Amino acid sequence: MKRKLLWIGALLLVLALGYWWFGLGTSRSVEEASPTWKTEPARRDTLRPEVPSTGTVVATRSTTLFWQTSGVVQIISEAGLRVLSGQTVAQLDPDSLPQGLLSALAQRMDLQNQLERLQTLGEAQAWNQYAEALYQEDRAKENLESLYDKIADGEVVSDITLQRYESAYALAQAQREHAEKVYQRWKEGRAPEVQVLQAQIQALDALLATSELRAPFAGTVTQVWTPAGTWVQPGMQALRIDDLSRLYVEADIGEFDVALVEEGQDATFTFDGIPYETFHGIVAEVAPVGTLDPQSGLIQFRVRILMKDADERIKPGMSTAVVIYGEPVEDALLVPSRAIRVVEGQPTVYVLRDGMPTPVAVKLGLSSGAYTQILEGDLEAGDLVVLNPPTASFFEE
pLDDT digits (tens, 9 = 90+) for 36-77: 889 999 999 988 888 999 999 999 999 999 999 999 999 999
Residues 180 and 112 in one domain: yes
Residues 113 and 198 in one domain: yes
Q: CB pairs under 8 A, 24+ apart, for 233-238? A: 233/67, 233/70, 234/66, 234/67, 234/68, 234/69, 234/70, 235/66, 235/67, 236/66, 236/67, 237/64, 237/65, 237/66, 237/67, 238/64, 238/65, 238/66, 238/67, 238/73, 238/76, 238/90, 238/213
Residue 320's pLDDT band, with cuts at 50, 70 and 90, is very high
Residues 129 and 260 in one domain: no
The verdict on residue 129 lying in a domain is yes
Q: How many CB atoms lie within 10 A of CB 353?
A: 11
Residues 298 and 365 in one domain: no
Residues 275 and 293 in one domain: yes
Alpha-carbon Rg for the chain in angstroms: 45
CATH of the domain at 279: 2.40.30.170
Residues 174 and 313 in one domain: no
Supply the pTM of this predicted model.
0.62
2 pLDDT exceeds 80? Answer: no
5 pLDDT exceeds 50? Answer: no
Report percent pLDDT > 70 for the chain. 90
CATH of the domain at 379: 2.40.420.20
Mean pLDDT of 74-90: 95
245 pLDDT exceeds 50? Answer: yes
Confidence (pLDDT) at 172:
92
Mean pLDDT of 328-336: 90
| Final residue in a domain of this structure, among 207, 232, 265 | 207
Q: Which of 19-23, 118-122, 140-144, 371-375 has the lowest mean pLDDT?
A: 19-23
Residues 302 and 346 in one domain: no
Residues 78 and 220 in one domain: yes
| Final residue in a domain of this structure, among 283, 302, 325 | 325
| Final residue in a domain of this structure, among 302, 325, 348 | 325
- Pick from 271, 274, 267: nearest CA to 321: 271
Beta bridge partners of 242: 62, 220
Domain around 161? 99-207
Confidence (pLDDT) at 290:
93
